[in-house]
């Protein structure tokens, strides 16, 4: 890398007048004892964030809102950054990092690694990583919620970082007191150092600013402003500072290629298209400059101590040491001023002024510079002077040379022809090559076209080869193809009678060659060539003195006390007392357009320079909701109001920093309001809203034109009382329907009541039988198990399996009306096994099964087996033999009759009778019971569902 020294020396080192902006002090209604404003930041939503030694504030130009830390601590804000999703990340001097996604929603990046260290910069790379530069612990990365310090080679020893940036290659540049360190992660980790050996004149680097082309601006502590030129891989010194400036504290990007640089004492502007300029600061700024901000509407903000100042940089001032300025033009990088005391020439930066033609003692009303650089000077009562600034040649013409009048109010021309607007009419002057040598052709329109005598205030040579003349009381005329025409179209304003277009003070055209005319009482008309009114502008400011069009197609309207700009895309905005024009009273048509498209305006003792903004993306009021009660600020959440709390209070603000006092709002609650409601107060209150869905819309404007702004919208739902809800109404309808149906069915229910009660009784009895197990059986089963365990553990395991299988079957089928024969036989066999273990050879169950197809009521066979044991003797002398036979139609269970003595008294007869009753509901076939005194037989019909 080689060292290049650029000869651009910052004009702070020169005693010049410089550019002067009108700085106004912003309101200071902070909630806290603030001593220092250390940071200014503007988000993509245009909101300005103010970092102070007492915490973070948002500022709309009128009011401040304190953003409290979740931990309640008060510390100095040392870093502010915005992520691509709009989140504002704030770093503090104690290592605390707060993330704000709305004015009422914030979170904390919690880490002990950064505790008690000052956060100097927060960066976001496209991959989603967050880099935290600190003063005291180097550079850190946040990835997947993990905070890790970057320790690659010398980064571990780089503790104190003043500033950091990401360049267009994704590399991190660190400004330190040991030069610049450039860290690269991909494709291979690498660390590069820029110091004195690489061309830095000063290794204490305080600020960095990246350009899109890879260049980097470098703010130095002792040597001003440098620039790393990526294409040449070299460093140049751009601006040197004068002693005592004490280092660069801010670098911000302006419009186009402008760079604003602030030291602790001064502010300057630099661009490659022009020399550097020192900015004249207001005398009330006496303390150290802490930070500057260039916002998106062209305002320059300055923080000094606990005070905040702002100036609109689109309008700057030059204050020459003369008065009585009546006309102005720009030629060869200099301003030419026509005054009551003569002709003056001044550098555009105000650094030098000289007077010319002093002997003539001229009172100059108008100046025109022709394409050859010749000045045509119109005077009051002294005729016309032709002057060549390059060699001092001059020529004088008066009424004796056939001009209409010696008092010339305005001059305009094209090529080798020009026209004079005088107090006595119109004069045309034509020449061939050199107006000093040629015989000038002077034509008086009164003679050639019978033009009426009288005042002609303005002459305007348009781009469409028409030349327009505005007269006093005689109307509007135009010259086309050497013929003069009266523009006597009837002009009708909306809602008014025909407008009397007789007096025209100033004329210009827009990009479509439509006319803009300054007429009586401050009215401005925009007409097409057929006389149709395209726009009508009036103003509370004084009469309009001048109209001129910028290179951006803006119409500049110069009034007494104000300058209005009609932007073709964003409407009209104004410069007035808020930009220092409280005593502004310029002469008629004392304006000119420079070669760069900017406009110079001459006041009597002040020169104003209006520079159109290259980018007008922020030329409208940006709306923000500040508070919703009740509700939340999050834009994606609905506002829901309960029926007993339908009071709604919405507070909003519109951002228009050039002049916040001009912001007007209109709002509407769609579904409630019939039309827009207009107000200057940022608040809307509604009460007693009916249940329903509403949309709140609010828009802001700085010029009463709301067509250029998109309204902010939020949906609001007022919940209905419960008796208006769909579920309550539906429930009532269902309830009434059910009641009606019940009344209609009452007679049928009465007839079937006894039958239904009997059925329910039987069902309950059945469920009771299915759900319970005979306690005696349960006791005997476990007693048997106890005996088996002592004798044969393997048999005990088998017994448990059979017992659990039996209970499993009971539980599985207790709610079923039917089960298959196969399932019933399994339950029966489990039960038989248990009985055989209990009674041994005293009982025998014989199976004669020829069919297992079909269905049967659950536990039917088990109930009959249990019934046989319950009512008959079981002994070793006479074993009880129970026979179970199954064919295609019947399940037959039989046993010999050996009644127990107590059987008749203990038996309830419920088990068998309940089985009979069940089958009455399951099938038309009936259970058959046979008892011949020797054998008791029960025949259960098999149910086939497919028949």
Q: What is the pLDDT of residues 885-921, one digit of tens each?
A: 999 889 999 999 888 865 444 454 556 777 887 787 7
- Stretch 308-321: mean pLDDT, rounded? 90
**Residue 476 backbone phi and psi in degrees, to 5:** -105, 135
CA atoms within 13 A on the CB side of 268: 30
**pLDDT in the model for residue 823:** 87
246 falls in which pLDDT band (50, 70, 90)? confident
Residue scoring higher pLDDT (741 or 8): 741
Element (H, E) at 920: helix 910-922
Domains of the chain: 3-314 (2.130.10.10), 318-544 (2.130.10.10), 622-720 (2.60.40.10), 756-941 (3.30.565.10)
Q: Among 79-83, 319-323, 332-336, 566-570, which range has the highest average pLDDT?
A: 79-83
Nearest to 563 by CA among 580, 576, 572: 576
Q: Are 307 and 25 in contact (CB under 8 A)?
A: yes
Beta carbons of 82 and 100 less than 8 angstroms apart: no
Residue 827 is predicted with a pLDDT of: 85
End-to-end CA distance of the chain: 103
Query: What are the residues facing 234 on neighbouring strands?
Result: 229
Mean pLDDT for 59-77 is 92
Give the pLDDT of residue 148.
93
Average pLDDT over residues 423-445: 94
Is the separation of the CB atoms in 665 and 652 below 8 Å?
yes
- Judged against a pLDDT cut of 60, whether residue 260 lies above it is answered with yes
Q: Minimal CA–CA distance to 711: which of 759, 768, 652? A: 652
Of the pLDDT bands very low, low, confident and very high (cuts 50, 70, 90), residue 753 is low
Helices and strands (H and E) in the chain: how many: 9, 75
The whole-number average pLDDT for the span 778-800 is 69
- The whole-number pLDDT of residue 744 equals 84
Q: How far apart are CA 857 and CA 943, in angstroms?
A: 9
Query: Alpha carbon of 792 to those of 439, 788, 789, 801, 842: distances in Å?
Result: 147, 6, 6, 15, 20
Which residues 6+ apart lie within 8 Å of 786 measured at CB?
A: none
Residue 297's nearest CA partner among 655, 663, 701, 57 is 655
Contact 12, 241 (CB under 8 A): yes
What are 439's two structure tokens?
């015989």
Spatial separation of the C-alpha atoms in residues 96 and 113, rounded to whole Å? 10
Which runs of E-coded beta strand occur in 70-229? 77-82, 88-92, 97-102, 105-109, 118-124, 130-135, 139-143, 146-149, 163-166, 172-176, 179-184, 190-194, 205-210, 216-220, 225-229
Residue 244 confidence (pLDDT): 72
Would you say residue 204 has pLDDT above 90? yes
Calculate ∠ Cα 115-120-125, nearest 5°: 100
pLDDT at 343: 97
- 651 pLDDT band, cuts 50/70/90, is very high
Q: Which of 350, 330, 251, 355 minimizes the C-alpha distance to 14?
A: 350
Per-residue pLDDT, 747: 73
Write down the pLDDT at residue 17. 47
SS3 430: strand
Find the range with the poorest average confidence among 445-449, 569-573, 760-764, 860-864.
760-764
CA–CA separation, 243 and 247 (whole Å)? 10
| 490, pLDDT greater than 90 | no
Per residue in 688-723, pLDDT tens?
A: 888 889 999 999 998 888 887 788 898 888 888 777
Buried b (16+ CB within 10 A) or exposed e, 745-767: eeeeeeeeeeeeeeeeebeebbe
> Which whole number is the average pLDDT over 657-669?
91
| DSSP run (H or E) holding 634 | none
Measured from the Cβ of residue 320, the count of other Cβ atoms closer than 10 Å reads 18
Lowest mean pLDDT among 60-74, 280-294, 365-379, 638-652: 638-652
Q: Is the pLDDT of residue 635 over 90?
A: no
| Nearest to 192, CA basis, from 171, 206, 209 | 171
d(CA 262, CA 279): 10
What is the number of other CB atoms lying within 10 angstroms of the CB of residue 584?
Answer: 24
**Angle at the Cα of 102 (from 100 to 105), degrees rounded to 5?**
70
Q: Which residues share a beta bridge with 617?
A: none
DSSP state of 26: P
- Could you give the residue ranges of the DSSP H alpha helices within 752-859? 753-771, 775-791, 793-812, 821-839
Residue 313: partners with Cβ closer than 8 Å, 6 or more residues away: 21, 254, 294, 298, 299, 300, 611
272 has a pLDDT exceeding 80: no
Q: Pick from 304, 312, 315: which is nearest to 656 by CA?
A: 312
Is residue 599 within 8 Å of residue 591, measured between CB atoms?
Answer: yes
Per-residue pLDDT for 662 more than 50? Answer: yes
pLDDT, tens digit, for every residue of 330-357? Answer: 998 899 999 999 999 998 877 789 999 9
Q: How far, CA to CA in Å, does 397 sit from each of 417, 873, 892, 930? A: 15, 156, 146, 153
Counting residues of the chain whose pLDDT is more than 70, the rounded percentage is 89
Enter the DSSP assignment of 505.
-
The per-residue pLDDT for 803 is: 76
Task: Report the range of poorest mean pLDDT among 49-58, 68-77, 535-544, 759-768.
Answer: 759-768
d(CA 293, CA 289): 12
Phi and psi at residue 811, in whole multiples of 5°?
-70, -40
pLDDT at 761: 45
Q: 731, 718, 827: which is closest to 770 by C-alpha?
A: 827
Q: Mean pLDDT for the chain?
A: 86
- Report the pLDDT averaged over residues 345-372: 92
* Structure confidence at residue 756 (pLDDT): 56
- What SS3 state is found at 272? coil
Q: Looking at the predicted structure, is the pLDDT value of residue 102 above 60? A: yes
Tell me the percentage of the chain whose pLDDT exceeds 90.
47
pLDDT band, very low/low/confident/very high, at 837 (cuts 50, 70, 90): confident
Question: What pLDDT score does 130 carry?
Answer: 96
**Nearest-5° Cα angle at 330, 324 to 336:** 35
pLDDT for residue 767:
47
Nearest CA to 315 out of 614, 12, 612 is that of: 612
Could you give the CA distance from residue 344 to residue 353 in angstroms, rounded to a whole number? 7
CB 202 within 8 A of CB 237: no
Q: In this predicted structure, what is the pLDDT of residue 497? A: 65
Q: Tell me, letter by letter, the H, E, C secondary structure of 217-259.
A: EEEECCCCEEEEECCCCEEEEEECCCCCCCCEEEEEECCCCCE
- Sequence-ordered list of residues with C-beta below 8 angstroms from that of 314, at least 6 positions apart, any chain: 298, 575, 610, 611, 612, 613
Calculate Rg over the CA atoms of the chain. 50
The band of 764, judged by pLDDT with boundaries at 50, 70 and 90, is: very low
Measured CA to CA, the distance from residue 698 to residue 467 in angstroms comes to 46
More confident position, 688 or 609? 609
| pLDDT at position 772 over 60 | no
Per-residue pLDDT, averaged over 62-77, amounts to: 92
Is residue 98 within 8 A of residue 87, CB to CB? The reply is no
């Amino acid at each position: 890398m080689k060292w290049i020294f650029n000869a651009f020396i910052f004009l702070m080192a020169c005693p010049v007048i410089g550019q002067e902006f009108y700085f106004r002090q912003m309101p200071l209604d902070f909630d806290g004892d603030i001593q220092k404003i250390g940071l200014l930041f503007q988000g993509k939503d245009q909101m300005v964030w103010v970092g102070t030694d007492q915490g973070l504030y948002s500022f709309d130009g009128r009011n401040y809102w304190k953003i409290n830390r979740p931990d309640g601590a008060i510390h100095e804000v040392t870093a502010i950054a915005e992520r691509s999703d709009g989140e504002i990340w704030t770093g503090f001097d104690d290592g605390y990092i707060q993330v704000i996604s709305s004015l009422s929603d914030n979170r904390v990046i919690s880490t002990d690694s950064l505790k008690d260290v000052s956060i100097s910069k927060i960066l976001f790379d496209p991959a989603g990583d967050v880099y935290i530069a600190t003063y005291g612990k180097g550079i850190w990365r946040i990835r997947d919620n993990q905070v890790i310090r970057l320790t690659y080679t010398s980064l571990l020893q780089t503790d104190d970082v003043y500033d950091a940036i990401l360049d267009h290659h994704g590399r991190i540049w660190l400004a330190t007191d040991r030069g610049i360190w450039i860290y690269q992660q991909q494709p291979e980790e690498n660390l590069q150092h820029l110091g004195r050996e690489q061309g830095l004149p000063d290794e204490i680097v305080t600020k960095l600013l990246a350009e899109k082309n890879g260049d980097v601006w470098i703010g130095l502590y002792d040597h001003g402003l440098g620039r790393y030129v990526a294409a040449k891989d070299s460093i140049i010194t751009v601006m040197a500072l004068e002693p005592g400036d004490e280092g660069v504290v801010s670098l911000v990007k302006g419009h186009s290629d402008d760079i604003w640089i602030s030291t602790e004492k001064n502010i300057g502007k630099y661009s490659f298209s022009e020399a550097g300029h020192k900015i004249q600061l207001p005398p009330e700024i006496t303390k150290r400059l802490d930070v500057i901000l260039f916002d998106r509407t062209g305002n320059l903000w300055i923080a000094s101590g606990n005070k905040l100042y702002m100036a609109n940089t689109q309008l700057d001032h030059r204050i020459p040491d003369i008065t009585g300025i009546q006309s102005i033009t720009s030629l060869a990088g200099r301003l030419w001023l026509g005054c009551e005391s003569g002709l003056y020439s001044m550098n555009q930066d105000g650094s030098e002024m000289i007077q010319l033609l002093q002997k003539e003692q001229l009172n100059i009303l108008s100046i025109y510079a022709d394409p050859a650089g010749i000045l045509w000077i119109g005077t009051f009562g002294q005729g016309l002077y032709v002057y060549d600034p390059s060699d001092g040649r001059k020529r004088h013409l008066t009424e004796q040379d056939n001009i209409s009048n010696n008092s010339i109010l305005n001059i305009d021309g094209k090529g080798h022809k020009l026209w004079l607007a005088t107090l006595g009419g119109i004069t045309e002057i034509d020449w061939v090559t050199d107006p000093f040598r040629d015989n000038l052709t002077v034509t008086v329109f009164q003679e050639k076209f019978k033009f009426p005598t009288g005042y002609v205030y303005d002459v305007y040579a348009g781009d469409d080869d028409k030349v327009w003349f505005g007269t006093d009381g005689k109307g509007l005329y135009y010259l086309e193809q050497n013929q003069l025409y009266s523009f006597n179209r009837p002009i009708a304003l909306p809602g008014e009678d025909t407008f009397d277009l007789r007096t025209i003070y100033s004329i210009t055209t827009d990009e479509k060659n439509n006319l803009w005319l300054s007429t009586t009482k401050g009215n401005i008309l925009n007409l097409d060539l057929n006389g149709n009114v395209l726009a009508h502008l009036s103003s509370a400011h004084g009469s309009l003195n001048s109209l001129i069009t910028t290179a951006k197609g803006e119409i500049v309207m110069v009034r007494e006390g104000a300058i209005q700009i009609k932007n073709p895309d964003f409407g009209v905005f104004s410069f007035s007392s808020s930009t220092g024009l409280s005593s502004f009273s310029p002469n008629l048509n004392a304006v000119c357009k420079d070669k760069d498209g900017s406009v110079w305006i001459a006041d009597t003792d002040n020169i104003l320079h209006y520079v159109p903004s290259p980018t007008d993306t922020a030329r409208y009021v940006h709306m923000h909701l500040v508070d919703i009660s009740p509700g939340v600020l999050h834009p994606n959440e609905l506002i829901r109001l309960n029926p007993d709390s339908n009071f709604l209070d919405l507070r909003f603000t519109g951002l228009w920093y050039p002049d916040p006092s001009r912001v007007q709002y209109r709002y509407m609650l769609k579904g409630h309001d019939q039309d827009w409601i207009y107000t200057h107060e940022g608040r809307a209150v509604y009460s007693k809203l009916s249940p329903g869905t509403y949309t709140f819309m609010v828009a802001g404007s700085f010029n009463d034109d709301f067509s250029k702004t998109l309204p902010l919208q939020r949906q609001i739902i007022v919940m209905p009382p419960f008796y208006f809800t769909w579920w309550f109404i539906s429930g009532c309808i269902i309830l009434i329907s059910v009641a009606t149906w019940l009344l209609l069915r009452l007679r049928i229910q009465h007839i079937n009541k006894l039958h239904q009660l009997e059925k329910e009784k039987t069902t309950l009895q059945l469920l009771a039988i299915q759900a319970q197990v005979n306690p005696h059986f349960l006791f005997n089963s476990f007693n048997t198990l106890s005996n088996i365990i002592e004798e044969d553990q393997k048999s005990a395991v088998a017994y448990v399996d059979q017992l659990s299988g039996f209970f499993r079957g009971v539980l599985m089928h207790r709610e079923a009306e039917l089960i298959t024969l196969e399932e019933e036989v399994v339950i029966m066999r489990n039960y038989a096994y248990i009985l055989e273990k209990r009674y041994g050879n005293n009982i025998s169950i014989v199976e004669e099964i020829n069919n297992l197809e079909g269905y049967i009521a659950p536990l039917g066979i088990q109930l009959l087996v249990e019934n046989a044991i319950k009512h008959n003797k079981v002994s070793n002398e006479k074993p009880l033999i129970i026979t179970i036979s199954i064919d295609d139609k019947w399940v037959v269970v039989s046993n010999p009759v050996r009644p127990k003595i107590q059987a008749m008294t203990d038996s309830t007869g419920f088990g068998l009778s309940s089985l009979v009753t069940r089958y009455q509901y399951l099938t038309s076939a009936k259970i058959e019971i046979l008892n011949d005194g020797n054998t008791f037989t029960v025949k259960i019909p098999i149910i086939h569902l497919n028949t």
